[in-house]
Structure formats: C-alpha cells, structure tokens
C-alpha cells in the first residue's frame, strides 16, 4: 500500500532559514544590490538579444536587466519568473558560458559578459526574502489527474504548471527526497540544498502530492499509474553509469561518480552513510584520480578537494579545448588545486584487492571523426602509472531500459534507449503518456528539463481544455 510521504520534514529548519537570511544579508546587502545594478546596467540593450535566443527558456533577459539597473527588482523578478519555473536554480547552475553569457554581445566584443546568471539568482533570492514569490493557488480545482514519475527539474517544472491550472498532480520518486539530480547529483557548493527544498515545500503546500521511496516498476506498476491517472509524465532521468572495460576495474577504491556524489550530498543533509563512514566514498587523506572530462567529473574533483584529499587529478583523453565540460568549471577546479592530466586515458589499474594506481596511456589528437571532433589516438610506449587510493569513474550516463523494467513494450525508445517523444508536445507513442528531460534528451541540463516540463504541461493543459470545450459544446 503506497503512502503519501510529506516532504515537510525536509523543510529547512527555522535555524537554517534564519541562518540563510543572515547569509543573504551578509553576502548580498547593499554592496550586492549595487553590484547587480552595475552589472545589469552594462547591458547595452543591443536589440539583437543573442543571450535570450541562446537561453533554452528564451528568458526575456534584456528586460529584466533593464529593470534591475533601474532598481525595480520586483518587476524584474516578475518578468524573469514568467518564463522560468526555478530562476534562482538556473542562475546558480546553468553553464552560462555556453548559453546566455557566452552569447552576450558585450562578451563577443571582448569586454566581458554581463553576469546574467548572477543577476537572475540575485533577483529571485531577493524575491524569496521579500515575500514576492507567490504560493501556488489554483483559481479552481479540476478533476483531471496527472502522475509524474520522477521529481527532478523536468517533473517538478511540469508539476508546478499543472497544479497552478488546478489539475490533481502526484509525483512519484524512488528517492527519499524530491529534486532528482538537483538534490543528489549536483554538489551543495554549487546549488545549496535548501534552495531546492524551498521549492519542494512550495509545491507541496500548493497541493502537489509526493509519493517518495516509490520505485515505479517495483512498488507500483506503470499500468497501475495509467489506470489511476488521466495522464502520465515520465521524467526519470538517466542513471545507468557508463563503465570502463579495463583490467582491474573491479578493485576496491574504484567507484562510480553518482555513488560518490550521492553519498557526499547525503552527508550534507546530515544522513548517516555507511560507505562514507567506512572511507569507501570519502576522499579525505587520499590521492584521488577522477576519470572523465564532463561536468560530473568537475563536480567530483571539486568535492574531493573539499573532503580533504591529499591530491586530486583529472584524467581526460582529449585536450582542454575539446573537453565537454564547462571551461568555467575547469578554471574553478584549477584554482582550487585540481591538476588536469590532458590527453590521457586509463588502460587498467594496478594493485590487488584495492586499487593502487591507474595505468595511463598518453594520447594525441588525430583526424576528425564523422562528428568533426578530432579522435584521440594512443602514443605507443608512453604509458605510465598515476598513483591513486580512490578512483572515481565519471564517464557519463545512459538511460535504463524502461520498456523492459516497466513491462511496457509499446513505449518506444531510440537506439540509444532514450524515450521517443514528440519534440513539441512531448507526448510519446502511447496516448496521454508524455516524457521529458534527460530520459528523452540523454544526459543534458536542468534548464532543458525545465523547458521540457513546462512544454509538456502546456500540451496536457491544451488537451484538457480542448476536451472540456468539446463536452461543453455537446
Ligand atoms: C553530477 C551532475 C552534475 C550536474 N551538474 C549540472 C549543472 O551544474 N547544471 C545543469 O544544468 N545540469 C547539471 N547536471 C545535469 C542535470 O542535473 C540533469 O540534466 C537534470 O537534472 C535532468 O532532469 P530530469 O528531471 O530529466 O531528471 P533527474 O534530475 O535525473 O530526476 C529524475 C528523477 O526520477 C527518479 N526516478 C528514476 N527512475 C524512477 C522510477 N523507476 N521510479 C520513480 N522514480 C524514478 C529519480 O530518483 C530522480 O529523482 C548535472 C548532472 C550530474 C549527474
Ligand atoms: S536560465 Fe540559464 S541560460 Fe537562461 S538566462 Fe538563466 S542562466 Fe542564462
């Protein structure tokens, strides 16, 4: 029997809320207001807002920058939240250098971008502190119900929009906390957890029901969800870690990035994590080698530094210019003491039961492949061993096989295993079943999941309204 689990227990305690307010004053205060206005005032209102077209949500950036520059923060917030469900989250963790800020005309002319993300974060944090963030209060209750599988940004953005329109929304998640990778993937030093919990509480107070610790496919079947609800939205993300078929990979001390980051985030919540206590998922006092060049690898190296590792190295088989992760993150990591070992790939691991080192093959970049990227080639005879007590594999994620796990063969997937959905409405081949976020796109970004969630919610609402109109016309 499934029980609705209240997430109230996860609301930041009052002490935390007070502390946050103190921090806010200290960090922001007059100076921060001045800084935000000054940054916003640098926007040239160029009239060709590439920043806006390169923001997945097409945020009306020039307008809210102008309002901020004029000190009209509440209006700036209203404009910003009109297109973004979680602006304070995107302001913190969007890779702005690849999105809005990277395309700022001032950046392109060599004068340094307007810090759009920081301003977005500032105005929304201010909105929370000033009480401008409105609770979710639907004008009318509607009978239609939606099951959302997955409480990550895709699922939560849809939940917000659907609930505001009065639909009955239940979010199912196999974790014990809502937030998806915003809670257990992304480290707290990039995205403070109470910022996510505050949004969870807002949704719950607005009438969204959360069924946590509920693994769809095990605790409840997909068919049962379809029977109990008018619509189902799949927002399960991608969690199957890519592995490394190299000799010695099964040794103690070689761990998956998701396990390492989840443990660290749980410790941040005050949970007891046996694998952390035992040292298995704790970098303190260890020589750490992280394998991979994406944002997950950056989060691992920066977490290891904070846990007190004696050294942290990041192995990547291409060079700096060709790494998939954000350049800003690399710079942050370097400033914190991480050493990047470019053009280096793991060939195997030394040690017995426990890892002692990574056998490294040196690489060079050869001819471009079909995608235009230069392929790494092995430099023969240049192998060496990088000493390590803890090796973290951050090689990316793939989707789980949902049609088999959920016994829904009619749920169509692509050859990569991602769920096939209409790119505009996000409806799958199964009527009234929608899919959004990473499970459709493959590992992507929070801001894209938010966009998908909003669009799918709109498509569901269009259907609801159309059938209501049909009924009225009969
Ligand atoms: C370490 C790391 C760092 C990242 N850093 C950034 C960053 O800085 N900026 C950025 O924009 N993006 C970042 N990303 C990517 C971003 O987190 C994802 O793109 C985004 O969270 C995807 O949202 P989603 O809603 O599709 O899925 P998720 O956030 O993955 O949420 C899916 C939810 O579904 C639940 N679920 C899965 N299967 C089931 C099931 N069978 N039954 C019930 N529940 C289920 C999961 O428990 C989870 O809560 C990062 C990703 C990782 C791994
Ligand atoms: S949502 Fe992300 S990309 Fe869009 S303006 Fe905000 S920080 Fe930039």
DSSP string covering 371-386, please? TSPEEEEE-TT--EEE
Q: Return the pLDDT at 345.
A: 95
Choosing from 39, 56, 59, 97 the residue with most ligand 2 atoms within 8 A of its CB, the one to mutate for a pocket test is 59
Beta bridge mates, 160: none
Q: Which ligand is nearest to the CA of 97?
A: 2
**Nearest C-alpha to atom 21 of ligand 1 is from which residue?**
181
Task: Say how far apart CA 22 and CA 233 lie, in whole Å.
Answer: 39
CB-neighbour burial class of residue 369 (10 A; exposed 0-12, middle 13-18, buried 19+): exposed
Does the Cβ of 103 fall within 6 Å of ligand 2?
Answer: no
Handedness of CA 222, 223, 225, 229 (dihedral sign): positive
**Nearest residue to 180 (alpha-carbon basis) of 152, 220, 221, 141:** 152
Whole-number Å distance, alpha carbon 96 to ligand 2 midpoint, is 6
**Nearest residue to 417 (alpha-carbon basis) of 445, 432, 396:** 396
Choosing from 90, 147, 150 the residue with most ligand 1 atoms within 8 A of its CB, the one to mutate for a pocket test is 150
Per-residue pLDDT tens listing for the chain (474 residues): 455 555 544 444 444 666 666 666 655 566 778 888 888 999 989 888 899 999 999 999 999 999 999 999 999 999 999 999 999 999 999 999 889 999 999 888 888 999 999 999 999 999 999 999 999 999 999 999 999 999 999 999 999 999 999 999 999 999 999 999 999 999 999 999 999 999 999 999 999 999 999 999 999 999 999 999 999 999 999 999 999 989 999 999 999 999 999 999 999 999 999 999 999 999 999 999 999 999 999 999 999 999 999 999 999 999 998 888 888 889 999 999 999 999 999 999 999 999 999 999 999 998 888 878 888 999 999 999 999 999 999 999 999 999 999 999 999 999 999 999 999 999 999 999 999 999 999 999 999 999 999 999 999 999 999 988 777 777
How many secondary structure helices (H) and strands (E) does the chain include?
A: 19, 16
Whole-number Å distance, alpha carbon 135 to ligand 1 midpoint, is 25
**H/E segment holding residue 228:** helix 222-228
Does the Cβ of 452 fall within 6 Å of ligand 1?
Answer: no
Contact (CB, 8 A) for 175 and 183: yes
**Nearest C-alpha to atom 1 of ligand 2 is from which residue?**
90
Does the Cβ of 104 fall within 6 Å of ligand 1?
Answer: no
> Residue 61's Cα: distance from chain center in Å?
21
Does the Cβ of 36 fall within 6 Å of ligand 1?
Answer: no
pTM exceeds 0.85 for this model:
yes
Q: Which ligand is nearest to the CA of 297?
A: 1
Q: Return the pLDDT at 469.
A: 79
**CB-based contacts of 407, cutoff 8 Å, min separation 6:** 217, 221, 222, 223
Beta bridge mates, 427: 434
Task: Say how far apart CA 306 and CA 427 lie, in whole Å.
Answer: 42
Whole-number Å distance, alpha carbon 94 to ligand 2 midpoint, is 6
Does the Cβ of 152 fall within 6 Å of ligand 1?
Answer: yes
Task: Say how far apart CA 54 and CA 108 lie, in whole Å.
Answer: 14
Q: Return the pLDDT at 15.
A: 45
Choosing from 84, 114, 121 the residue with most ligand 2 atoms within 8 A of its CB, the one to mutate for a pocket test is 84
Does the Cβ of 237 fall within 6 Å of ligand 1?
Answer: yes
Task: Say how far apart CA 200 and CA 8 lie, in whole Å.
Answer: 9
Q: Return the pLDDT at 12.
A: 45
Residue with tokens 């017995």: 352
Q: Return the pLDDT at 316.
A: 96
Contact (CB, 8 A) for 184 and 197: no
Q: Return the pLDDT at 303.
A: 98
């Amino acid at each position: 029997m499934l029980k609705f689990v209240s997430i109230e227990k996860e609301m930041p305690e009052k002490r935390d809320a007070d502390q946050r307010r103190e921090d806010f004053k200290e960090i922001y205060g007059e100076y921060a207001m001045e800084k935000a206005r000054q940054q916003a005032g640098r926007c040239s209102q160029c009239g060709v807002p590439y920043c806006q077209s390169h923001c997945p949500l097409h945020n009306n950036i020039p307008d809210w920058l102008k309002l901020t520059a004029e000190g009209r923060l509440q209006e700036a917030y209203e404009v910003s939240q009109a297109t973004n469900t979680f602006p304070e989250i995107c302001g913190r963790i969007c890779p702005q250098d690849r999105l809005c800020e990277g395309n700022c005309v001032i950046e392109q002319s060599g004068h340094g971008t307007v810090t759009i993300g920081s301003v977005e974060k500032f105005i929304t944090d201010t909105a929370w502190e000033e009480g401008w963030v409105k609770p979710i209060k639907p004008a009318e209750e509607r009978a239609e119900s939606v099951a959302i599988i997955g409480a990550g940004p895709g699922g939560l953005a849809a939940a917000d929009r659907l609930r505001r329109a009065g639909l009955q929304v239940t979010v199912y998640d196999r974790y014990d906390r809502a937030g998806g990778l915003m809670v257990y993937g992304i480290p707290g030093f990039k995205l403070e957890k109470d910022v996510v919990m505050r949004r969870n509480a807002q949704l719950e107070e607005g009438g969204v029901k959360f069924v946590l610790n509920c693994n769809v496919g095990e605790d409840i079947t997909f068919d049962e969800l379809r029977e109990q609800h008018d619509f189902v939205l799949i927002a399960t993300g991608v969690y199957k870690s890519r592995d490394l078929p190299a000799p010695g990979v099964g040794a103690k001390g070689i761990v998956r990035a998701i396990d390492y980051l989840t443990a660290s985030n749980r410790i941040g919540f005050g949970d007891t994590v046996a694998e952390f206590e035992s040292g298995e998922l704790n970098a303190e006092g260890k020589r750490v080698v992280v394998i991979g060049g994406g944002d997950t690898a950056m989060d691992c190296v920066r977490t290891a530094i904070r846990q007190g590792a004696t050294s942290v190295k990041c192995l990547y088989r291409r060079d700096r210019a060709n790494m998939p992760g954000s350049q800003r993150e690399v710079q942050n990591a370097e400033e914190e003491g991480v050493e990047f070992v470019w053009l280096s790939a793991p060939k195997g691991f030394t040690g017995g039961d426990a890892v002692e080192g990574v056998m490294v093959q040196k690489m060079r970049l050869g001819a471009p492949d079909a995608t235009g990227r230069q392929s790494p080639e092995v430099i023969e005879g240049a192998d060496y061993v990088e000493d390590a007590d803890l090796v973290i594999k951050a090689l990316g994620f793939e989707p789980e096989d949902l049609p088999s796990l959920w016994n829904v063969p009619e749920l169509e997937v692509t050859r990569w295993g991602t769920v096939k959905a209409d790119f505009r409405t996000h409806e799958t081949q199964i009527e009234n079943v929608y899919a959004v976020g990473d499970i459709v796109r493959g590992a992507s970004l929070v801001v894209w999941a938010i966009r998908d969630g909003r669009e799918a919610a709109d498509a569901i609402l269009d259907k609801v309204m159309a059938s209501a109109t049909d009924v009225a016309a009969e």
